[in-house]
Chains A and B, each alone.
Chain A
Amino acid sequence: MANPLKLYLTCVRNTLEAALCLQNFPCQEVERHNKPEVELKTSPELLLNPVLICRNEAEKCLIETSINSLRISLKVKQADELENILAKKFLRFLSMRAEAFQVLRRKPVQGYDISFLITNYHCEEMQKQKLIDFIVQFMEDIDKEISELKMSVSTRGRLVASEFLKQFL
Chain B
Amino acid sequence: MFKVCLYRVRVKIFRGVPFHGSAEKPIEVDHHLYEFGSVEYYIKSSVSEPFTYLSISTPLLSRGVFPSHRLSPCTLRTIREISSDVLDIVEPPTDGYQLTLRLDFSKLPHNKESLKVITEVSSVQAVILSSQLKERLQNVNSWDMSQGMYVIREPFYVIRQPRKIVAVFPMRFKDHSDVIIATSFFQELMDVRSSGKWSKIPPCNWSPIPPPELRGELFEDLSTNGGFVSFDISSHHVEVKRLDKTVWSLLNFHGYVKHHVKCTRGFIQRRMRRRMDSLVQVLEKSMIENNEEIKRVKGWKKVKKWMKLTSKSKMIKGKYHDFTKKMKRIRFRVKIHGFGCFRRRWLTIACFSSSVGYSKLKKH
Residues of A within 8 A of B (CB): 81-82, 84-86, 89-90, 93-94, 97, 100-103, 125-127, 130-131, 133-134, 137-138, 141, 145, 149, 152-154, 156-158, 160-162, 164-165, 167-169
Most buried by A among B256, B269, B279: B279
B289 touches A127 (CB 8 A): yes
- CB of B193 within 8 Å of the partner chain: yes
User: Please, which residues of chain A bring their CB within 8 A of the CB of B283?
Assistant: 101-103, 126, 134
Interface pick from B38-46, B103-111, B270-278, B318-326:
B270-278
A164 touches B249 (CB 8 A): yes
Task: State the Cβ distance, B222 to closest chain A Cβ, in Å.
Answer: 22
A157 touches B185 (CB 8 A): yes
B245 touches A168 (CB 8 A): yes
Known contacts being A153-B264, A161-B188, is A137 close to B282, with CB within 8 Å? yes
A157 touches B260 (CB 8 A): yes
A-B contact pairs, 26 of them (CB 8 A): A82-B181, A82-B184, A84-B180, A86-B268, A90-B272, A90-B275, A93-B272, A93-B276, A94-B272, A94-B279, A101-B283, A127-B289, A127-B290, A131-B286, A141-B279, A152-B267, A153-B184, A153-B268, A157-B260, A157-B264, A158-B188, A164-B249, A164-B256, A165-B189, A168-B202, A169-B201
Q: Which residue of B lies closest to A162 (CB)?
A: B192
B287 touches A125 (CB 8 A): yes
B184 touches A154 (CB 8 A): yes
B276 touches A158 (CB 8 A): no
User: Please, which residues of chain B bring their CB within 8 A of the CB of A141?
Assistant: 275, 278-279
Residues of B within 8 A of A (CB): 176-177, 180-181, 183-185, 187-189, 191-193, 198, 200-202, 204, 237, 242, 245-246, 248-249, 253, 256, 260, 263-264, 267-269, 271-273, 275-276, 278-280, 282-283, 285-287, 289-290
Known contacts being A162-B192, A168-B245, A168-B249, is A157 close to B201, with CB within 8 Å? no
A156 touches B264 (CB 8 A): yes
Known contacts being A134-B283, A168-B200, is A81 close to B180, with CB within 8 Å? yes
Q: Which of B192, B200, B237, B279 contacts A158 (CB 8 A)?
A: B192
User: Please, which residues of chain A bring their CB within 8 A of the CB of B249?
Assistant: 164, 167-168
Most buried by A among B176, B177, B246, B267: B177
Most buried by B among A84, A103, A137, A153: A153
Task: State the Cβ distance, A75 to closest chain B Cβ, in Å.
Answer: 19
Q: Which residue of A lies closest to B280 (CB)?
A: A100
Q: Which residue of B lies closest to A131 (CB)?
A: B286
Q: How far is the CA of A149 from the CA of B272 in the complex (A)?
A: 9
Most buried by B among A131, A154, A165: A165
> Which 7 A-B pairs rank lowest in CB-CB distance, beginning with the nearest?
A130-B286, A157-B188, A161-B189, A157-B185, A126-B286, A167-B249, A158-B188
Task: State the Cβ distance, A163 to closest chain B Cβ, in Å.
Answer: 9
Q: How far is the CA of A81 from the CA of B176 in the complex (A)?
A: 10
New contact pairs (18) apart from A93-B269, A138-B279, A161-B191, CB-CB < 8 Å: A81-B183, A82-B181, A89-B268, A93-B273, A94-B276, A127-B290, A130-B285, A133-B282, A141-B275, A141-B278, A149-B271, A153-B264, A157-B189, A157-B260, A161-B185, A164-B256, A167-B245, A167-B249
